[in-house]
Amino acid sequence: MLISYNVSLKPYNTFGMAVNADKFIRISSTEQLLEVIDLGLEPLWILGGGSNVLLTGDLPGYILKNEIRGITIIHETDEELTVEAGAGEIWHEFVLWAISRGLGGIENLALIPGTVGAAPIQNIGAYGLEQESVFTCLKAINLKDGSEKIFSREECRFGYRNSVFKQECKGRYFITYVTYTLRKNGHTLNTSYGAIVEKLHEKGIQNPDIADVAEAVIDIRRSKLPDPAEIGNAGSFFKNPVIKEGHYLQLKKDYPEIPSYPADAGFVKIPAGWLIEKAGFKGIRRGDVGVHKNQALVLVNYGAGTGKEIVELAEDISETILQKFKVSIEAEVNIWK
């Protein structure tokens, strides 16, 4: 096991926060992970692609950089293919692997940054699809005693940008492998999001296949989202709030143009980006942090910003929205303090 000391994490988080880790260990197998656990090293911080974390200061303890790779086919029928992916596989590469084999179910999730192992943590989702729809199970190692546990879909308790790993199992397990069942035939494409329909129309595609949808998603994302290589960010900073229908109808009286999407019975989803824009934060800059000029849901680091400054800005935004709309918005990004 090779431990590196006093390592800058700037290249390892998409916000580009310049903080240091006391100790940094690359983990490329379950055996290496068990070695760390056997030594009783603490505290342990698990890092994938660093695209959903906000680092607010130097980190004591051990960063475990997940590099467990490999894609293994474990079961195949005429209709489906079940595949186990190492948690350190790059999610988008996994999507491309599936598309190149005509396997459906994750095409709407193309170009989401990060690793396969982090995908179940917040049940990644985009354009009306979440990874849970093709998820079968995952293997995870208990960081306290090194025991392996297989989590079924039910045990993961997936929700909107949520799972048991953001709740009671938070920080307790290292996910090592994730198994997905992808569809060979009879896969129904989800083109319910207007942007996909528009993009396919623009390209003159009337009967899209899996690859067409993935390409449409990639084109839309490249044109709309700030690239972390150019401007530090972790995607959507907040989750979209889901509010009671009565509350929504009240808001609609004051703001007839308020956008909304269906949620569970009696509830309505409101785009947090709209609330942020309406509260006057879109495009604002404070020092070297700010709110992106085109995507109000994305907080950005222009270069020398700090995690603490992002937290202050996020608190200001959520307090203003609470006062103005009586709507509480919650961070989606994992804040490491």
Catalytic residue ranges: 161, 236, 332
Given 19, 54, 103, 118, the residue binding ligand FAD (CB under 6 A): 118
Helix (H, G, I), strand (E, B) or coil at 131: helix
- Binders in 271-330 for ligand FAD, by CB under 6 A: none
Measure the CA–CA gap between 235 and 228, rounded to whole angstroms.
9
- Binders in 263-292 for ligand NAP, by CB under 6 A: 271, 273
Q: Name the pairing type of β-strands 334-336 and 53-55.
A: parallel
Q: Is the dihedral of CA 293, 319, 165, 80 positive or negative?
A: negative
Q: Note whether 235 binds ligand NAP by CB under 6 A.
A: yes
Q: Note whether 241 binds ligand NAP by CB under 6 A.
A: no
Decide: 136 and 146 in contact? Cβ < 8 Å. Answer: no
Decide: 27 and 34 in contact? Cβ < 8 Å. Answer: no
Q: Cβ of residue 59: shortest distance to ligand NAP, in angstroms?
A: 22
Decide: 220 and 241 in contact? Cβ < 8 Å. Answer: no
Q: Cβ of residue 123: shortest distance to ligand NAP, in angstroms?
A: 11
Question: What does the angle CA 94 – CA 174 – CA 141 come to, to the nearest 5 degrees?
Answer: 115
Q: Cβ of residue 236: shortest distance to ligand NAP, in angstroms?
A: 4
Stretch near ligand NAP under the rule CB under 6 A, chosen from 12-20, 24-32, 174-182, 188-196: 188-196
Measure the CA–CA gap between 315 and 285, rounded to whole angstroms.
15
271: partner contacted, choices ligand FAD, ligand NAP, none (Cβ within 5-8 A by kind): ligand NAP
**Nearer to ligand NAP (CB atom), residue 66 or residue 122:** 122
Tokens of 219: 């084109």
How would you classify residue 332: left for phi > 0, otherwise alpha for psi between -120 and 50, otherwise beta? alpha
What does the binding site for ligand FAD look like in residue numbers (CB under 6 A)? 14, 46-53, 66, 87, 112-115, 117-119, 121-122, 124-126, 173-175, 225, 228, 233-235, 334
What does the binding site for ligand NAP look like in residue numbers (CB under 6 A)? 125-128, 192-193, 195, 224-225, 235-236, 240, 261, 271, 273, 295, 297, 332
